[in-house]
């Protein structure tokens, strides 16, 4: 049971407070994060001018930090829309304050993730070559390539996620429109698209959300499966595996939930949302995180055991380099962050507090980034023929660009929370307006068959 | 546009007003109910609930599927590569493109249906009162009521003496 919510006008006032009032701390935070993002963009420009020699990427390790970041951010994007869609479909009452916080993560994480294949291009201004259209010689991009699949999957998911985020924002824009004056009223009036809140509009909105929730779940699963195909379609040691699809999806949901918990705790603290984001929300998400932790451990065990039992020379070279070789410290850190720590913190009820959930989530984010790094780099540096083995060491350019994406995510989230109610006001109120069941249900059933469009 | 309406503090009184309007001979299509949140637990929250959106979404999905099948096949057959009689269209990888565009078609069709059927973005003036969002009241009213039916409508909307009738 979630604790009772404040009354309607208090909900509106509390949730519109960040939109209608701006403190100096907001500008300071935006300036700080913006400067890091600018440094990242400058570093990218530096890389474009001087070439990929500025990075640690080499032959044979031609995918490294950037593809790790790509997979990591696409994984984080699984927090929002997927979780929100599942909770909507099962009509979980506790979802109401959580959904928008989650959906925003998806939208921004996807945008950042989709940037990495472009950052990874030597000539990023030719990114449109990825777009499926025929060249001047009427040659199309290869639709059998996982990179073309990525284009379709990520763009479908991004479009769906943005619409899934934007549609429920329309009624909230109408609230801001009616509560504000001047230029703000005009801007939110345009964004509200003439929303009035008629029974027909509410019904159509909820139907559209249900259809999208049904559609977006398989799309979300497909996206990370297809990202895993970037690896598993290649004959590279420890990549060419049928388990990669579900393993990646489980990992993505795992890191996504962790990202969501961190975002919610931050919002709760700095926007004073204690009346809306209750400990029970964190406990429920913490249980979900624990479940995904166990699932992740199961997949890792499966993957490792199969390779070990197969005893293929090339696979075992990668296996041992991660278990007790150069990558072993990273591997065991990953195991502690992704499995041991969450299992202890979230498995013991006493520790499953907001602080406990946040600590476990921070560990999971670090662990999941390491997991992606350990999938990419050890396999590429230990391919089938030992003469092609190599080493990889990240250079400042890659580290700076990676750091700047975390700043970009925080900046985008901060700006969003400034201009849009971060908790859906109408959804929160909808949970409060319940009629006595004995009066409403028979009447509703009677009328349902009689009404028409 | 002319309109006659009243604002109600809760779902029960709004339901009484809607029932009264029906008793006065007003059809559901002519009754406007506006609220700050969906009122699904009340009967009036289900007025105008019949929609073909699910079917339209399926049609959108079918359109996306057809387009993807055509596009993927086109890309593989548009450049003549000698394959020695082996098939050149790769259906297994094409399934991925077909799946993604099917879902995209369904999603876009749902959103387009929402925009059209919910009259989003329309410029025509319509019955509205900001008190709905500001105070959380429920508006029940009639747009362009006829002069002959006006007294009956006023009686139906006046579910208790505290209710104040408004006109536009």
Q: How confident is the model at residue A108 (pLDDT cuts 50, 70, 90)?
A: very high
The reported pLDDT for the residue numbered A338 is 96
Six token digits for residue A156: 């479908």
Q: How confident is the model at residue A451 (pLDDT cuts 50, 70, 90)?
A: very low
For A343-347, what is the mean pLDDT?
A: 95
For B149-165, what is the mean pLDDT?
A: 84
Beta-carbon count within 10 A of A313 CB: 9
Beta-carbon count within 10 A of A92 CB: 13
The reported pLDDT for the residue numbered B40 is 84
Six token digits for residue B27: 């059809």
The reported pLDDT for the residue numbered B78 is 84
Chain-chain contact of A160 with B104 (C-beta, under 8 angstroms) = yes
Residues 6+ apart with CB under 8 A from A41: A404
From B11, B75, B111, residue closest to A433, measured CB to CB: B11
For B24-77, what is each residue's pLDDT tens digit?
888 888 899 999 989 888 898 888 888 899 999 999 999 999 999 999 999 888
Peptide bond into A381 cis (omega under 30): no
Pick from A267, A423, A434: nearest CA to A358: A267
How many helices (H) and strands (E) chain B has is answered by 5, 4
A-contacting residues of B 56-75, CB under 8 Å? 57, 71-72, 74-75
Chain-chain contact of A152 with B107 (C-beta, under 8 angstroms) = no
For A176-196, what is the mean pLDDT?
A: 92
Q: How confident is the model at residue B147 (pLDDT cuts 50, 70, 90)?
A: confident
Burial of A34 (0-12, 13-18, 19+ CB in 10 A): middle
A55-to-A52, A60, A393, A394, B135 alpha-carbon distances in Å: 5, 14, 9, 7, 58
The reported pLDDT for the residue numbered A445 is 41
* Selected residue of B93, B112, B135 to mutate for chain A interface (largest A Cβ count, 10 A): B93
Burial of A133 (0-12, 13-18, 19+ CB in 10 A): exposed
The answer to whether residues A72 and A401 touch, using CB atoms and an 8 Å cutoff, is no
The reported pLDDT for the residue numbered A433 is 57
Measure in Å the smallest separation between the Cα of A223 and chain B Cα atoms. Answer: 9
Residues 6+ apart with CB under 8 A from B29: A452, B48
Residue A330 confidence (pLDDT) above 60:
yes
Residue A5 confidence (pLDDT) above 80:
no
The answer to whether residues B52 and A444 touch, using CB atoms and an 8 Å cutoff, is no
Measure in Å the smallest separation between the Cα of A156 and chain B Cα atoms. Answer: 6
For A110-156, what is each residue's pLDDT tens digit?
999 999 999 998 889 988 888 888 887 778 888 888 989 999 999 99
Cβ-based contacts of B133 with chain A (< 8 Å): 12, 174-175, 177-179, 197
For A237-254, what is each residue's pLDDT tens digit?
999 999 999 999 999 999
Six token digits for residue B22: 């029906």
Measure in Å the smallest separation between the Cα of A283 and chain B Cα atoms. Answer: 28
The reported pLDDT for the residue numbered A435 is 44
For A279-311, what is each residue's pLDDT tens digit?
999 999 999 999 999 999 999 999 999 999 999
Gap between the Cα atoms of A2 and A270, Å rounded: 21
DSSP secondary structure code for residue B39 in this structure: -
Q: Poorest-confidence range of A359-373, A438-452, B90-104, B106-120?
A: A438-452
Percentage of residues in chain A with pLDDT exceeding 70? 94
Gap between the Cα atoms of B67 and A224, Å rounded: 23
User: What integer best gives the mean pLDDT of chain A?
Assistant: 89
Cβ-based contacts of A158 with chain B (< 8 Å): none
Measure in Å the smallest separation between the Cα of A378 and chain B Cα atoms. Answer: 28
């Amino acid at each position: 049971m979630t604790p009772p919510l404040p009354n309607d006008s208090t909900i509106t006032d509390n949730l519109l407070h960040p939109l209608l009032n701006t403190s100096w701390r907001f500008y300071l935070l935006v300036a700080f994060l913006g400067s890091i993002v600018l440094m990242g963009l400058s570093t990218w420009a530096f890389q474009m001018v001087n070439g990929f020699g500025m990075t640690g990427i080499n032959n044979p390790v031609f995918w490294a930090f950037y593809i790790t970041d790509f997979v990591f951010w696409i994984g984080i994007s699984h927090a929002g829309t997927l979780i929100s869609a599942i909770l909507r479909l099962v009509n979980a009452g506790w979802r109401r304050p959580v959904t928008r916080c989650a959906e925003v993560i998806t939208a921004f994480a996807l945008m950042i993730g989709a940037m990495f294949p472009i950052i990874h291009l030597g000539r990023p201004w030719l990114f449109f070559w990825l777009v499926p259209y025929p060249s001047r010689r009427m040659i199309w991009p290869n639709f059998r390539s996982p990179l073309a699949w990525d284009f379709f999957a990520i763009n479908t998911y991004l479009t769906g996620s943005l619409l899934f985020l934007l549609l429920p924002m329309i009624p909230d824009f109408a609230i801001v429109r009616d509560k504000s004056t001047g230029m703000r009223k005009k801007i939110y009036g345009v964004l509200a698209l003439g929303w009035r809140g008629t029974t027909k509009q509410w019904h159509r909105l909820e139907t559209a959300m249900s259809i999208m929730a049904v559609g977006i779940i398989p799309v979300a699963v497909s996206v990370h499966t297809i990202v895993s195909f970037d690896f598993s379609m290649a004959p590279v040691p420890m990549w060419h595996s049928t388990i990669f699809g579900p393993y990646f999806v489980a990992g993505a949901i795992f890191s996504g939930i962790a990202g969501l918990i961190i975002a919610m705790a931050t919002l709760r603290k700095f926007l004073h949302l204690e009346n809306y984001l209750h400990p029970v929300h964190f406990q429920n998400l913490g249980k979900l995180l624990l479940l995904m932790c166990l699932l992740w451990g199961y997949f890792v065990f499966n993957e490792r055991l199969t390779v070990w039992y197969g005893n293929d020379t090339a696979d075992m070279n990668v296996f041992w380099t991660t278990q007790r070789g150069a990558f072993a410290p990273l591997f065991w850190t990953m195991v502690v962050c992704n499995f041991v720590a969450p299992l202890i913190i979230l498995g013991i009820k006493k520790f499953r507090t907001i602080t406990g959930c946040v600590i476990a989530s921070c560990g999971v984010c670090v662990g999941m980034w390491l997991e992606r790094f350990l999938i990419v780099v050890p396999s590429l540096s230990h391919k089938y023929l030992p003469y092609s083995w190599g080493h990889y060491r990240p250079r400042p350019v890659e580290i700076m660009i990676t750091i700047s994406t975390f700043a970009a995510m925080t900046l985008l989230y901060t700006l969003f929370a400034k201009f849009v109610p971060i908790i859906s006001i109408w959804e929160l109120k909808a949970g409060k307006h319940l009629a006595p069941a004995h009066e409403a249900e028979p009447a509703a059933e009677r009328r349902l068959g009689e009404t028409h469009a | 546009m002319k309109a006659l309406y009243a604002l109600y503090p809760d779902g029960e009184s709004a339901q009484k007003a809607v029932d009264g309007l029906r008793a006065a001979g007003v059809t559901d299509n002519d009754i406007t109910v506006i609220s700050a949140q969906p009122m699904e637990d009340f009967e009036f929250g289900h007025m105008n609930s019949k929609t073909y959106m699910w079917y339209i979404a399926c049609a959108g999905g079918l359109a996306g599927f057809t387009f993807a099948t055509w596009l993927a096949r086109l890309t593989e057959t548009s450049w003549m590569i000698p394959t020695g009689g082996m098939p050149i269209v790769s259906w297994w990888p094409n399934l991925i493109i077909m799946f993604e565009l099917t879902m995209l078609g369904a999603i876009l069709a749902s959103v387009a249906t929402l925009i059209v059927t919910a009259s989003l973005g329309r410029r025509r003036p319509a019955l509205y009162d900001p008190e709905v969002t500001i105070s959380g009241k429920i508006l029940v009213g009639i747009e362009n009521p006829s002069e002959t039916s006006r007294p009956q409508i006023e009686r139906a909307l006046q579910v208790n003496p505290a209710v104040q009738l408004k006109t536009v």
